């Protein structure tokens, strides 16, 4: 369901479907398709590229020969057709840091992190998915919900659990923007959001203020 209201918390604009849509990754069903589908790697920052390079020796042995060849040739990241930095991919598809176990596609960087072998887990763009982050020309950050066919099982599971996108991604959102920012998200019905919006369809919230639902 789509709404016209946009929520602003600090310098971050939040699409309302991040609050209203249901989502919960179902790895058993999707098999990690988001790591291999698409025609570009995961968006990364300059700082993240440095952290990935620092962790490269740790994950190198688990990478495929094709992935190692790509990294040897162009490094861990490249600029895609839009000029954005993304992780390198193999054959125009698989992220170089994917591995396959028991029919599932997993992330070598995250595996190393969870085993305590690396300080870097994975790019924030991966951790935040299906939220897509973009930087606007006015200096604000925009968060949008990306609806992808490979995540159909995640939407179904989210509906079954009653888990919304922002709730499923609480950990990554807190790591990216802070607990105070997360607590300022309005877990409210669309009718309340519509009443609070200004003439431009924008809700502005002060950091650290937890909204209280109002009756219709």
At 96-115, the pLDDT tens digits run: 999 988 888 889 999 999 99
> pLDDT value at position 211?
41
**Residue 34 confidence (pLDDT) above 80:** no
> pLDDT value at position 202?
57
DSSP designation for 43: B
Among 106, 126, 146, which residue terminates a domain? 126
Return the number of other C-beta atoms located less than 10 Å from residue 195's C-beta. 12
Cβ-count burial of 2 within 10 angstroms (0-12 exposed, 13-18 middle, 19+ buried)? exposed
Q: Is there a single domain that holds both residue 138 and residue 185? A: yes
Q: Is there a single domain that holds both residue 171 and residue 194? A: yes
DSSP designation for 61: G
CA–CA dist 112, 60 (Å, integer): 11
Assign 55 a pLDDT band (cuts: 50, 70, 90).
Answer: very high
> pLDDT value at position 101?
86
Q: Is there a single domain that holds both residue 138 and residue 97? A: no
CA–CA dist 70, 78 (Å, integer): 11
pLDDT in tens, 83-95: 999 999 998 888 9
Q: Is there a single domain that holds both residue 210 and residue 165? A: yes
Q: Which secondary-structure segment (H or E) carries 47?
A: helix 46-59
Q: Is there a single domain that holds both residue 118 and residue 37? A: yes
Report the percent of the chain where pLDDT is more than 70: 83
Q: Is there a single domain that holds both residue 159 and residue 205? A: yes
> pLDDT value at position 209?
42
Q: Is there a single domain that holds both residue 134 and residue 118? A: no
Assign 6 a pLDDT band (cuts: 50, 70, 90).
Answer: confident
**Residue 23 confidence (pLDDT) above 90:** yes
β-sheet bridge partners, residue 85:
79
Assign 1 a pLDDT band (cuts: 50, 70, 90).
Answer: very low
DSSP designation for 133: E
Q: Is there a single domain that holds both residue 134 and residue 122? A: no
Nearest to 126 by CA among 172, 75, 81: 172
72 in a structural domain: yes
**Residue 210 confidence (pLDDT) above 50:** no
Domain enclosing residue 148, as ranges: 1-23+130-216
149-156 average pLDDT score: 89
Among 126, 149, 178, which residue terminates a domain? 126
CA–CA dist 22, 7 (Å, integer): 18
For the chain, the domain total comes to 2
What are the Cα distances from residue 5, in Å, to 56, 193, 198? 42, 7, 9
Regarding predicted confidence, which is higher, 117 or 94? 117
β-sheet bridge partners, residue 135:
141
> pLDDT value at position 82?
87
Return the number of other C-beta atoms located less than 10 Å from residue 42's C-beta. 23
28 in a structural domain: no
155 in a structural domain: yes
27-51 average pLDDT score: 84
């Amino acid at each position: 369901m789509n709404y016209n209201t946009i929520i602003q918390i600090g310098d971050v604009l939040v699409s309302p479907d991040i609050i209203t849509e249901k989502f919960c990754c179902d790895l058993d069903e999707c098999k990690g398709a988001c790591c291999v589908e698409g025609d570009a790697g995961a968006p990364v920052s300059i700082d993240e590229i440095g952290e990935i390079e620092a962790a490269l020796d740790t994950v190198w042995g688990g990478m495929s020969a094709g992935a190692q060849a790509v990294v040897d040739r162009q490094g861990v990241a490249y600029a895609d057709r839009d000029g954005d930095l993304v992780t390198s991919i193999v054959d125009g598809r698989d992220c170089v840091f994917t591995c396959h176990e028991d029919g599932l596609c997993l992330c070598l960087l995250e595996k190393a992190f969870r085993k305590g072998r690396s300080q870097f887990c994975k790019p924030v763009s991966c951790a935040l998915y299906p939220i897509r982050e973009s930087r606007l020309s006015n200096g604000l950050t925009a968060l949008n919900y990306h609806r992808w066919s490979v995540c159909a099982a995640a939407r179904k599971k989210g509906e079954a659990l009653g888990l919304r996108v922002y709730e499923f991604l609480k950990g990554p959102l807190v790591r990216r923007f802070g607990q105070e920012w997360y607590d300022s998200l309005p877990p409210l019905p669309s009718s309340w959001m519509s009443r609070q919006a200004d003439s431009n369809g924008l809700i502005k919230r002060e950091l650290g203020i937890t909204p209280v639902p109002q009756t219709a």
